Chain A
Amino acid sequence: MSAQALLEIADDELILGWRNSEWTGIAPFLEEDVAFSSIAQNEIGHARALYALAAEELGTTPDELAFDRAPDEYRCSRLVALRLVPDWARTIARHHLYERADAIRIAELKSHSDQRIAGLAAKIEREETYHRLHAEMWHERLREEPRYVEALGELEPLLEQRDAGIEELAPLWEEMTMVRRSVPGATW
């Protein structure tokens, strides 16, 4: 598996983790706030582990891959780059679409010939099981809701778009890398 293919998944997880974390403190109710924030945190953890694998191959570090590339170098899907706060219906539509697609991708990685990749995929899968449980219960609850159905139709085509998200990603990148850029060369 090429480092570029790993980066694609890592970028998806990092950017989605950031976008989902924008709900922390303002999710529709307290229990959901805790659950959704925890999912966001998991996604960023997955990104970190995937960047570490890619970094070994590319001779760099996970932090450099996560934060020191230009916005147009990220390989993430346009779906994850969208800022959806405060639209919960679209947020859950993205969550459902992403988890469904991610499940297929992770299942494939589990049988990868590189043991490190297969092992990491198995670890990620154990956490993603709960993300899917969460996405499915919301999907069941909202499936008749017109705003949700509309959001699914609107967002689904964005999943496979990997080079058109720069206008959505640029403002997030500014925010995400601000602290790191503020003190060049610092080790936190």
Chain B
Amino acid sequence: MIFEVFRRERKGQPFQHAGSLDAPNAAFAEAYAREQYGRRGESAALWIAPRSALREIDDFVDELGRNYHRVDGYPLKEKLKEARERAGTAGDR
């Protein structure tokens, strides 16, 4: 049975995926997670969940290419330049 382990490095920080492990049941998973992710003081807390309990979604459709929904790589520089020219403030700075 595969278990996914999440660890919180310090109190107040978010849990992040640490790795996965193979264990026959939850008791073994707990012991192994302690050994692999907690023994050296590297974690303030762990979450352990059977992989089967996690729901994965990986189908994010974007058929119409509406990339204005996205926040990555939005080119502001050109637009800003045009706006400044229209406003007549291009040479001010």
What is A's interface to B at a CB cutoff of 8 Å?
29-32, 34-35, 38, 130, 133-134, 137, 140-141
Q: Which of B22, B24, B27, B35 contacts A35 (CB 8 A)?
A: B35
| CA distance in complex: A133, B39 (Å) | 14
Interface size on B, residues (CB 8 A): 12
Who on chain A is nearest to B38 by CB? A130
Say yes or no: A137 contacts B28, CB within 8 Å. Answer: yes
Q: Which of A35, A140, A141 contacts B32 (CB 8 A)?
A: A35
- CB-contacts of B14-70 with A (<8 A): 21-24, 27-28, 31-32, 34-36, 39
Q: Which residues of A contact B34 (CB under 8 A)?
A: 130
Closest Cβ of chain A: how far from B65's Cβ, in Å? Answer: 45
Say yes or no: A31 contacts B36, CB within 8 Å. Answer: yes
Q: Which residues of A contact B36 (CB under 8 A)?
A: 31, 34
| CA distance in complex: A30, B28 (Å) | 13
Closest Cβ of chain B: how far from A36's Cβ, in Å? Answer: 9
- 7 shortest interchain CB distances as A-B pairs: A31-B32, A137-B27, A35-B35, A31-B21, A134-B31, A38-B35, A34-B35
Q: 1/0 contact trace for B53-93 toward A, CB 8 Å?
A: 00000000000000000000000000000000000000000
Closest Cβ of chain B: how far from A37's Cβ, in Å? Answer: 9
Besides the known contacts A31-B23, A38-B39, 10 further A-B residue pairs in the complex with CB atoms under 8 A apart: A29-B22, A30-B22, A31-B28, A34-B35, A35-B32, A35-B35, A38-B35, A130-B34, A133-B31, A137-B31
What is B's interface to A at a CB cutoff of 8 Å?
21-24, 27-28, 31-32, 34-36, 39
| CA distance in complex: A124, B6 (Å) | 28
| CA distance in complex: A32, B36 (Å) | 10
Say yes or no: A34 contacts B31, CB within 8 Å. Answer: no
Q: Which residues of B contact A141 (CB under 8 A)?
A: 24, 28
Closest Cβ of chain B: how far from A32's Cβ, in Å? Answer: 8
Closest Cβ of chain B: how far from A62's Cβ, in Å? Answer: 23
Q: Tell whether A31 pairs with B22 under 8 Å between CB atoms, given A38-B35, A38-B39, A130-B34.
A: yes
Who on chain A is nearest to B21 by CB? A31
| CA distance in complex: A130, B33 (Å) | 12
| CA distance in complex: A29, B29 (Å) | 13
Q: Which residues of B contact A134 (CB under 8 A)?
A: 31
Closest Cβ of chain B: how far from A71's Cβ, in Å? Answer: 32
Most buried by B among A35, A38, A130: A35
A-B CB contact pairs (8 Å), 17 listed: A29-B22, A30-B22, A31-B21, A31-B23, A31-B28, A31-B36, A32-B32, A34-B35, A34-B36, A35-B31, A35-B32, A130-B34, A134-B31, A137-B27, A140-B27, A141-B24, A141-B28
